[in-house]
Amino acid sequence: MSAKDGQFAEIVRFPVGGDLLAAVQLEWDAVEALSAPAPPDLPRPWIPATCTSPGLLHELRAWFGDVVDWLNAQHTWNPDSAIPPCWSRHPHLVHDIAVLADQRRRAEDTTSSTALEHWHRVVLPAFLDRTRASIGQWCAADHQPY
């Protein structure tokens, strides 16, 4: 199938989190838009350890899972580049996915494509390179602890 026939592969929007996560993200967007001081107790979804409420933590885990599924379906051409299904058992991946997801969400909220271009050109490739370097083939067949 070619682009001339008017068809694309399945294009799926970036996942959104649940209501609690969305509320926290909106608060951060407002803080940044107003250049207000950062509330010290406001959870930072890009730092998962700050999301201590059980409901928010549950939504954050579900969102990260949706983001990983989306990345593997929409941005992985080579199976060796896919995020392994055991990603949640690797703390370094959880930390990286948190930042990757937050930056992608923010890039979509901008009024131009500049932030999204940066995410595609710099953020995503760097994440995939770090993932390949840190996990390699360790978890190809089954989860391997460090």
**What tens digit of pLDDT does each residue of 41-93 get?**
999 999 999 999 999 999 999 999 999 999 999 998 777 788 988 899 999 99
Q: What is the pLDDT of residue 106?
A: 95
Judge whether 4 lies within some domain: no
Q: Which of 144, 10, 28 is nearest to 84 (CA)?
A: 144
The pTM (predicted TM-score) of the whole model is 0.88
Tell me which residue range forms the domain holding 129.
Answer: 17-135
Which of 30-44, 91-105, 122-136 is predicted least confidently? 122-136
Residues 133-136: contacts with CB under 8 Å, at least 24 apart: 134/90, 134/92, 134/93, 135/84, 135/90, 135/93
Distance, in Å, from the CA atom of 67 to the CA atom of 71, rounded to the nearest integer, reads 6
Judge whether 140 lies within some domain: no
Residue of higher predicted confidence among 81 and 124: 124
- Band of pLDDT at residue 9, cut at 50, 70 and 90: confident
* CB contact at 8 A, 81 and 132: yes
Judge whether 57 lies within some domain: yes
